[in-house]
Amino acid sequence: MRSLEDPTPEELESCPFCEGREDRTPPEVLALPAVKGREPDTPGWKVRVVPNKYPAFAGHEVVIHSPQHVRSLVELDGAQLALIAEAWRSRAATARGEGFAYVFAGVNEGKAAGASLPHSHSQLVWLHEVPPAQAVEEGDGSCRLCALLASELLEGTRIVEEREGLVLLCPYAGRVPYECLIAPLDHESDGFGSDLLAAALELAADALRRLHAVEGPRPANLWLHTGTHWHLELLPRETVFAAIELGTGHYVNSVAPERAAELLRGASPTAA
């Protein structure tokens, strides 16, 4: 599966996230799988977590998704995505154990989506307070996502796929073309602790594969929203947010979610 634009020779020679260049990052805080006899910051890992070299927060880490130079989640198989989920889970447990109220996990793919380095990775941010977006969603204590899923499943036109207790859909009034939401069908609050987290990452990677089959490779943002009814939000960067979106909170979406879901349903998640 092709990811974003092809890497240049200079990129391949200079990437600090590739195996064998462990001395180019801050010392690792986690490497998976645990290999007996392996010294820290040496080859032999599949997923590696290091402090962000240029932290924006007190707790700010980078999860390197592969020892090989890959640019997108679409290039990773289920076993590799499961290790990423395990790394998120482990570091979230550490952050919570140190008294942090919220851990944000997010992926930026492509320069237009904010990726500073092209090698596939995610960022973990440890926050002392629940962020405003999470606090707003908690609302009056009722689960808005449970109500949304019930409505979407009943109507069906925006559903892309259901599997393994999860649903992939293009939500009503999506902010951007082909925006996707991946959520457990049953109410679960803690995404980091869920047995479905790895499967949700697989479904997100499949959504990107479907999008690539329909529109070609696109930059995208993906993040985990946890604490109420956890879910993954996937925003392909098909458009640029302009004054209307930033100033009013109203988003101009040129592809109706019903049409987006129809196109994604018809695309193969394994297409090259």
Whether 178 contacts 260, CB under 8 Å: yes
- The torsion of the CA quartet 34, 40, 41, 42, rounded to 10 degrees, works out to -70
pLDDT digits (tens, 9 = 90+) for 106-138: 999 999 999 999 999 999 999 999 988 776 655
Residue whose C-alpha is closest to residue 161's, from 202, 190, 197, 189: 202
Return the CATH number of 1-129, one of 3.30.465.10, 3.60.20.40, 2.40.10.10, 3.30.428.10: 3.30.428.10
The band of 256, judged by pLDDT with boundaries at 50, 70 and 90, is very high
- Tell me, yes or no, if the two domains 1-129 and 142-267 fold the same way: yes
- Is 272 a residue whose pLDDT tops 50? no
Strand partners, 30: 49
Segment 204-245, tens digit of pLDDT: 999 999 999 999 999 999 999 998 899 999 999 988 888 988
Taking alpha carbons only, the member of 169, 76, 181 closest to residue 120 is: 76
Q: Distance between CA 178 and CA 261 in Å, rounded?
A: 7
* pTM for the structure as a whole: 0.94
Q: Is 204 helix (H, G, I), strand (E, B) or coil?
A: helix
Domain ranges of the chain: 1-129, 142-267
Homologous superfamily of 142-267: HIT-like (3.30.428.10)
